[in-house]
């Protein structure tokens, strides 16, 4: 499982011109589920995302996690992050989980974050989404579980 997280001052996602999720300050998280992922990798990544310190404290150091900073998370499924790009000029999506499995883990990921009392908004699985963001920093990290 992979999560590309970006610290944002705001982010939103629309589908077919309809706004389906938006946040103010917090994290925009692109989530990819891989074929070998399981409940353990899911919980490990949820914990890492929830506790990853990338917000500034009163001394300007990245010491606060999203909850401590009073932020929210916008979760967007993005299977292309699971692509194998090591060779050739076309990505291979063999490492990605099957859509049915990926959707289940995507929904569980959102539920687990919400259970930690973090405000969570989300995109729509497998939809053609338009994502807007204002990257704060910029601060961007790729997390793996």
What SS3 string covers the chain? CEEEEEEEEEEEEEECCEEEEEECCEEEEEEECECCCCHHHHHHHHHHHHHCCCEECCCCCEEECCCCCCCEEEEEECHHHHCECCCCCCCECCCECCHHHHHHHHHHHHHHHHHCCCCEEECCCCCCEEEEEEEEEEEEEEEEC
Tens-digit pLDDT profile for residues 112-142? 999 999 999 999 999 999 999 999 999 999 9
Identify the pLDDT of residue 140. 98
Identify the pLDDT of residue 22. 98
Mean pLDDT of the region 97-106: 98
Tens-digit pLDDT profile for residues 40-52? 999 999 999 999 9
Which domains, from first to last, does the chain contain? 2-144 (3.50.80.10)
Q: How far apart are CA 94 and CA 89, in angstroms?
A: 15
Identify the pLDDT of residue 45. 98
Could you say which of 79, 109, 112, 121 is catalytic? Answer: 79
Tens-digit pLDDT profile for residues 60-74? 999 999 999 999 999
Q: How far apart are CA 132 and CA 144, in angstroms?
A: 24
Q: The pTM is what?
A: 0.96
Could you say which of 30, 55, 67, 78 is catalytic? Answer: 78
Could you say which of 80, 111, 130, 140 is catalytic? Answer: 80
Identify the pLDDT of residue 11. 98
Residue 79 annotated among the catalytic residues of the structure: yes
Mean of the per-residue pLDDT values of the chain: 97
Tens-digit pLDDT profile for residues 68-91? 999 999 999 999 999 999 999 999
Give me the percent of the chain exceeding a pLDDT of 70.
100
Phi, psi of 44 (to 5 degrees): -65, -45
Residue 141 annotated among the catalytic residues of the structure: no
Residue 140 annotated among the catalytic residues of the structure: no
99: left (phi over 0), alpha (psi -120 to 50) or beta: alpha
Identify the pLDDT of residue 6. 98
Identify the pLDDT of residue 4. 98
């Amino acid at each position: 499982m992979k999560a590309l997280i970006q610290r944002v001052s705001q982010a939103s996602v629309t589908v077919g011109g309809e706004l389906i999720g938006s946040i103010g300050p917090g994290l925009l998280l692109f989530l990819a589920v891989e074929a070998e992922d399981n409940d353990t990798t899911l919980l490990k990544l949820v914990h890492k995302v929830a506790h990853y310190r990338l917000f500034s404290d009163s001394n300007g150091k990245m010491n606060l996690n999203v909850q401590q900073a009073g932020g929210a998370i916008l979760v967007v499924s993005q299977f292309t992050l699971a692509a194998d790009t090591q060779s050739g000029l076309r990505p291979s999506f063999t490492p990605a989980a099957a859509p049915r499995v990926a959707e289940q883990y995507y929904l569980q990921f959102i539920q687990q974050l919400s259970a930690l009392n973090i405000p969570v908004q989300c995109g729509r699985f497998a939809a053609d989404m338009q994502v807007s963001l204002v990257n704060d920093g910029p601060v961007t990290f790729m997390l793996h579980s």
